[in-house]
Amino acid sequence: MRMSQFFLPVLKDTPAEAQIVSHRLMLRAGMIRQSSAGIYSWLPLGFRVLKRIEQIVREEQDAAGAQELLMPTIQPADLWRESGRYDDYGLEMLRITDRHERDMLFGPTNEELITDIFRGSVRSYKQLPLNLYHIQWKFRDEVRPRFGIMRGREFLMKDNYSFDLDPEAARHSYNRMFVAYLRTYERLGLKAIPMQADTGPIGGDMSHEFIILADTGESEVYCHADYLDFAAPEAGVDYGSDLSPVIEHWTSRYAATDEKHDAAQFEADVPEDRRIATRGIEVGHIFYLGTKYSKAMGATVMGADGAEVPVEMGCYGIGVSRLVGAIIEASHDDDGIIWPASVAPFQVGLINLKVGDEACDKAVADIYEKLRRAGVDVLLDDSDGRAGGKFATMDLIGLPWQLIVGPRGLKSGVVEVKQRATGERQELSIEAAITTLTDN
Ligand code: 5CA
């Protein structure tokens, strides 16, 4: 992509309304624009990151045996009357009336809709286990939307729903998602800690929130420092095997959000120098629901003995749009964003220091083509601005690598390769630079 053609409305000044660094950087880097309180448009740079996160989430869900479908954003109120949540959900639910005076709503979550799909098609235990997910926009009319896309009113969530015959099988489904979540966050370059959590309006009797430690987080959290050194399960996990040893390891130390925090136990379980009491960002939340929805909505299956039983359910959410902000909170410096390679909007920022100089233009065009042919996503700064401004923009938007081509270097046959995360610079021949960037 050429910068001259790319819609990248960067801001020079720090927007006054943004209170936390990720919100400031997303606005400055031209990733999002607010349309109304808590509702945002995703501009090309931000949308690329959102899509890359979504794809990693999808790959790990598929690997764990979940199947993707797509449910609508608008749902009929009658389904929510069946579960009793139409009244319970209160002002957070955006209620809509259609032209026939039918009550509708913009979905804040999908337990009712998926349970309706399930009960319409599944009759026998032989069709279980089943785990269905979608990645869809949700609307919650939050009292205090804030921090940009971190607590939005409209936000993108991955939500799955598992269906099993009995509590033991449901526990296995829960464990599969637990492991898939650890892998997902690891691939996103994040250290997420599973913590005991409250179930709120979703319900159920067991749940874990996945939390990124950050001073700017909205939750107060308490945990053992050992978690920071725990390694996520490797790719190629056998999801059919007994996963409980992984879950036991990842729940072996104290970790709780403030609703579940027990100060006496924290002090008894964790040596003083290993206690972390800080704030965190909730990037995912999994729930064992039991039969809360299946009983209320009549979602039953025939067991092996011929008896009808309500299906055991779980639900599992990941805040896909919130993750964009969470990754920035975890990875930035004074100059801007530092994208982990796995989610970067482009891998390389190619800077032509002297547009119009024949040697520079030719070398840059050649490098751009070679990188593109090797499958590397490149953003080429072909503007004729000043070098300082070009460097500042590249640092702000945080691509993992910068390749800088200038007339002086070219005379001695070299270009400069800079790694954004470390600031490390190397002078290399054009060929060596291309090899470095295609190998990474
Ligand atoms: N039905 C369940 C999971 S399938 C559910 O809705 N869980 S939730 O309420 O905990 O939301 C799941 C995830 O969505 C949260 O962990 C959080 O990362 C994200 N999320 C929730 N509310 C917002 C919001 N207002 N803005 C951005 N992300 C949000």
Residue 12's pLDDT is: 87
Is there an atom of ligand 1 within 6 Å of 152 CB? yes
* Whole-number Å distance between alpha carbons of 112 and 76: 10
Please answer whether residues 218 and 200 qualify as being in contact, where contact means their C-beta atoms are separated by less than 8 angstroms. Answer: no
What distance in angstroms lies between residue 306's CA and the mean position of ligand 1's atoms?
Answer: 38
Is there an atom of ligand 1 within 6 Å of 280 CB? no
Q: What is the residue-level pLDDT of the chain in tens, covering all 440 positions?
A: 999 999 999 998 888 889 999 999 999 999 999 999 999 999 999 999 999 999 999 999 999 999 999 999 999 999 999 999 999 999 999 999 999 999 999 999 999 999 999 999 999 999 999 999 999 999 999 999 999 999 999 999 999 999 999 999 999 999 999 999 999 999 999 999 999 888 777 776 689 999 999 999 999 999 999 999 999 999 999 999 999 999 999 999 999 999 999 999 999 999 999 999 999 999 999 999 999 999 999 999 999 999 999 999 999 999 999 999 999 999 999 999 999 999 999 999 999 999 999 999 999 999 999 999 999 999 999 988 899 999 999 999 999 999 999 999 999 999 999 999 999 999 999 999 999 999 87
Residue 226's pLDDT is: 97
Residue 15's pLDDT is: 85
Which CATH architecture group holds 348-439?
A: 3-Layer(aba) Sandwich (3.40)
Ligand 1, atom nearest to 142 Cα: 25
Question: What stretch(es) of the chain map to CATH 3.30.930.10?
Answer: 3-337
* Whole-number Å distance between alpha carbons of 440 and 436: 7
Please answer whether residues 204 and 250 qualify as being in contact, where contact means their C-beta atoms are separated by less than 8 angstroms. Answer: no
User: For residue 100, what are the contacts with CB-CB under 8 A and spacing of at least 6?
Assistant: none
What distance in angstroms lies between residue 265's CA and the mean position of ligand 1's atoms?
Answer: 28
The interaxial angle of helices 320-330 and 44-63, nearest 10 deg, is: 110
Query: In terms of Cα–Cα distance, which of 27, 60, 62 is closest to 43?
Result: 27
Classify 4 in phi/psi space as left (phi over 0), alpha (psi -120 to 50) or beta: alpha
Please answer whether residues 328 and 21 qualify as being in contact, where contact means their C-beta atoms are separated by less than 8 angstroms. Answer: yes
Is there an atom of ligand 1 within 6 Å of 418 CB? no
What distance in angstroms lies between residue 108's CA and the mean position of ligand 1's atoms?
Answer: 9
What distance in angstroms lies between residue 297's CA and the mean position of ligand 1's atoms?
Answer: 23
Please answer whether residues 26 and 19 qualify as being in contact, where contact means their C-beta atoms are separated by less than 8 angstroms. Answer: no
Query: In terms of Cα–Cα distance, which of 11, 281, 319, 19 is closest to 146?
Result: 19
Residue 16's pLDDT is: 85
Is there an atom of ligand 1 within 6 Å of 148 CB? no
Is there an atom of ligand 1 within 6 Å of 141 CB? no
Strand partners, 378: 348
What distance in angstroms lies between residue 285's CA and the mean position of ligand 1's atoms?
Answer: 7
Question: What stretch(es) of the chain map to CATH 3.40.50.800?
Answer: 348-439
Q: Which class is 3-337 in CATH?
A: alpha beta
Please report, as a single letter, which amino acid is at residue 38. Answer: G
pTM of the model: 0.96
